[in-house]
Amino acid sequence: MTGFVDEYMPDKVPGFPCTAAPRFNTSIKVAAGGGEKRNQEWEQPLHRYGLPEAQGRDPDVVEALRQHWLTMRGPYFSWPWADPFDKASLDLAHPNESDDDVLARIAATDQLIGTGDGLAERFRLSKLYTYGSGSYRRTVHLPVLASVVVAVDGVEADPGDYTVSRPGGVIEFAVAPADGAAITAGFLFDVEVRFEGDDAFEAILRGGDVGGFAGLSLIEVRPC
């Protein structure tokens, strides 16, 4: 991950309320007769987050945001963001559910991430979404390391038997799981984001001065 700094935005900057919009890149060609041919250019979407109350007139919040902005060099560096709508291997009970409450419900069997073949030692974390007969699997690159629990065939594995990478989201076992063994995991995860543009901070200050609150836009970054 080129230019990734593993430091969260300051707690003083309100991260909720928030909007989270996953955006795919779809090319659509319309024939003369009106028929369409659609092509999905991206396998996975990129999210855009809007924080409408990120900065008010509180000087402490303004200074905290300024420090983060300067350290990140504006949009140059990316950093981790906990999506208040989707940050765990299971569905949240409600938006912005606390990490402690989510951790109390996470289980090592939440997500199937692979099947052993007796040789493979590495398995990538992911989360499956389903609706009706359709499904979508999201790759997880930034697991919260302390939250990860893993099971092999339903039996929770000793943390000393595997490692977890961040960034990367890869579980690596010291000994390859047996052939046919179900590898599952539970976890919290973050999204890699950046500030929207070089002029974003100026716009934030102007908005806060005029209306009392100023929004902040964050753009998801796809790991290279």
Give pLDDT, residue 205: 66
Q: Residue 118 corresponds to which tokens in the numbers above? A: 């007796």
Q: Whole-model pTM?
A: 0.90
Answer whether residue 212 shows pLDDT above 60: no
Would you give the DSSP letter of residue 159?
G
Indicate if the pLDDT at residue 207 is higher than 70.
no
Backbone angles phi, psi at 181, to 5 degrees: -75, 135
Per DSSP, 208 falls in state H
> Residue 37: what residue type?
K
* Position 210 pLDDT exceeds 50: no
Q: Which residue has the higher pLDDT, 98 or 60?
A: 98
Give the per-residue pLDDT at 204.
62
Mean pLDDT, range 60-76, rounded to an integer: 89
Residues 14-42 have pLDDT tens digits of 788 899 999 999 999 999 999 999 999 99
Neighbours of 70 (CB within 10 A): 10
Query: What distance in Å separates the CA atoms of residue 56 and residue 78, rounded to the nearest whole number?
Result: 24
Q: If pLDDT is split at 50, 70 and 90, which confidence band does 211 have?
A: very low
User: How far apart (Å, rounded) are the C-alpha atoms in residues 14 and 50?
Assistant: 11
pLDDT digits (tens, 9 = 90+) for 49-64: 998 766 666 778 888 8
